A = this chain, B = another copy of it.
Amino acid sequence: MVNYSTLETIDLFEYLCIRIKQIGIRSVHGVPGDFNLVFLDYVEKCGLRWVGNCNELNAGYAADGYARINGISALMTVMGVGELSALNAIAGSFAEFVPVIHVVAKPSLHAQKEELCLHHTLGDGDFTTFEEMSRRVSCLTASIDSPKTAPVLIDEAIRTCWVQSRPVTIFIASDMVRMPIARHLLSSRPPLNRTMPRDDVLQHGRLVDTVIHEVQQATNPVLLIGGYGILHGAKRELDQFLGSSELPVLAAASGLGLVDATLPHYVGLYVGSTSSPNVLELMHSVDLVISIGNIQTDLSTSGFSGNVDDTRLIDIQRTRAKVKGHNFTNIHINNVLIALTAELGNELPPVHSSSWVDRNQQQEPLAIILDKTDANTPIRRRSTEKSSRDQFLNFFRNSKGYFPALLSMGPWIPQHEFEGHKPITHDWFWTHLGKWLRKGDIILAEAGTASYGIWNTTFPPDAIFLAQYLWSSIGYTIGACQGAALAARDSCNPQRRTILFIGDGSLQCGCQELSTIIRHGLTPIIGYTVERLIHGEEQAYNDIQPWTHQLLPAAFGAAPGAYQTHRVETREDLQALWSQERFTDCSVLQFVELYIAQKDAPSNLVALSRSLRERNG
């Protein structure tokens, strides 16, 4: 570690690394390559951990997972080969509003200017081709080609990543790395301010007024909470809004875990036609859905069944909103939530201790969370009662028996008694899982049986849930698990458990990242099952090579005492495992093979698969 106060200038790449550290990133993901080796000298020098993933796609997934826990993350790759390998992960972060700062090493400006036929190019002297590809899945790309503009460009990239909650890509030529930057620039506040231009303030005001007007006009309004664009800088505001609001609350699939299931107004999970009867009944009666951070994808709406149309939808996204078809741009979800809390909420309840990393407890004060003065400004309660609406709310309040999903998301699946040696089925597994989960768990569900089955699981308080209901890239969660587990360890809450549910086919995509998990001594629980639905249940093309998974940790270099493997075939096996303290406490990596009948699947996935099959056919 260097004492920067004694220096007049620092190197350009140091500036970037220190900025990265200032905004709360502790570990940087990526893979070394010819053009970024000089970069990497600075990472550890600046007190950051270099993760060193096995490949760039996994590194990108891991950076996504790290950002979902930490609030933001950084990824370093090399132009062309590395950059393109990570592109699927970056596109996923873009689709799912995950803020990742992607730093791409380019050859020297001299080589670019001379159009040299370097390796990692197409041999045509064009050094912009891949930049154009990255641009399509980044909310900003910045090319650092001068030390004079570098600090502004870097700060603006970080600010944009944070405001938009989406990836930015910073290209740095190898000969820029050591250029001098004035040290005093670092003493400015990290580039996370969000001063709104006057136009945006007006836009914001108009949106809030419109929303309040619509809510006042509505007879049966309901809140529908998703997870897109919330995690980074808006979670506390969401908690405050939900805690103060009296409207019924539904969680979208991406909002699982984000919405505290013990909230008095929480009803359950809305996922289209496969929702529980009480949720369907509620949605049938509502005339206004205030959707916050939700995207209505085919997978999260059970094939668009019960999609909420524009005529009764207020759709508030990270930086834009749509009220019954009318668009508002350049707003910010954070400000909107604060205003809505003030306008629609009751007296401010005690703020829920945030399930997110509380940055203020970290060693260095960070500026990611909106100024607390804004969030804590005493709010004025505004009377919005109307008679028919009262009726609706009273119906909701008095019908706990009819809305049994208040505390459990899936009670419409019969609660089996414990049945000894019976084989494990998906419906049994996911409904029983909730009993073993505990406060603060980080839970990852790979797209497939896990991401649908888990709709039947009751989440504990402060759980954080990672899944991709929009991008749905198979293999995402094994990399994301590494990133999430590392972010948890980097946080002020390092005892959080990280628990991954993945199919064996998905595990094959990115299995080597188990090696990175082992290398950094991370101790997630990884459970893997099988999947074979949608189309071609019997076709050979859906077969995968049967692996002896139990050998993987040792093959990837885990020491004998540093991991445990388990083979679980019956409900009794699983209950026994759940009762083992060493397993439950996550002191070492746990690797669990869950045997589930090949054609068994969660009921809701069977229904969804039918819908997809019909559309494919």
A residues contacting B by CB (< 8 A) are 31-35, 37-38, 40-41, 43-44, 50, 52, 54-57, 80-81, 84-85, 87-88, 91-92, 94-95, 107-108, 111, 116-123, 129-130, 132-133, 136-137, 174, 295-299, 304, 447, 469-475, 508-512, 515-516, 518-519, 534-536, 539-549, 551-552, 554-557, 612, 615-617
Contacts and interface: CB of A to CB of B under 8 A. Distances in A.
Given A298-B119, A471-B120, A475-B55, A37 B536 contact: yes
Contact of A116 (B111, B298, B536): B298
A511 to B, nearest CB: 5
Contacts of A544: 52
A469 B123 CA distance: 11
B50 A541 contact: yes
Contacts of A137: 122, 129
Contacts of A475: 55
Contacts of A556: 545, 547-548
B512 A41 contact: no
A512 B508 contact: yes
Contact of A84 (B88, B118, B296): B88
B546 A40 contact: no
Chain multiplicity (copies):
2
Given A111-B615, A119-B471, 4 more contacts: A107-B615, A117-B296, A120-B471, A123-B297
B304 A116 contact: yes
B37 A535 contact: yes
B554 A548 contact: yes
Contact of A32 (B52, B296, B541): B541
A588 to B, nearest CB: 16
Q: Which 5 A-B pairs have the closest CB atoms?
A: A551-B555, A84-B88, A37-B535, A519-B545, A119-B472
Contacts of A545: 54, 515-516, 518-519, 556-557
Contacts of A43: 541
A556 to B, nearest CB: 6
Contact of A616 (B32, B35, B136, B473): B35
Given A37-B536, A298-B118, A536-B41, A54 B508 contact: yes
Nearest to A228: B123
A84 B91 contact: yes
A472 B118 CA distance: 10
Contact of A539 (B41, B94, B535): B41
A37 B535 CA distance: 6
Contacts of A617: 38
Contacts of A34: 534, 612, 616
Contacts of A554: 548, 551
Nearest to A133: B133
A546 B556 CA distance: 7
A541 B40 CA distance: 7
21 contacts: A34-B534, A40-B539, A41-B536, A50-B540, A52-B543, A54-B545, A55-B475, A55-B509, A81-B471, A81-B472, A81-B473, A94-B122, A108-B616, A119-B472, A120-B473, A512-B512, A545-B557, A546-B557, A547-B556, A548-B557, A551-B555
Given A44-B540, A472-B119, A557-B547, A616 B37 contact: yes
Contacts of A132: 136
Nearest to A468: B119
Contacts of A117: 295-298, 470
A52 B85 contact: no
Contact of A299 (B38, B44, B119, B548): B119
A85 B61 CA distance: 12
B547 A515 contact: yes
Nearest to A304: B116
Contacts of A91: 80-81, 84, 122, 130
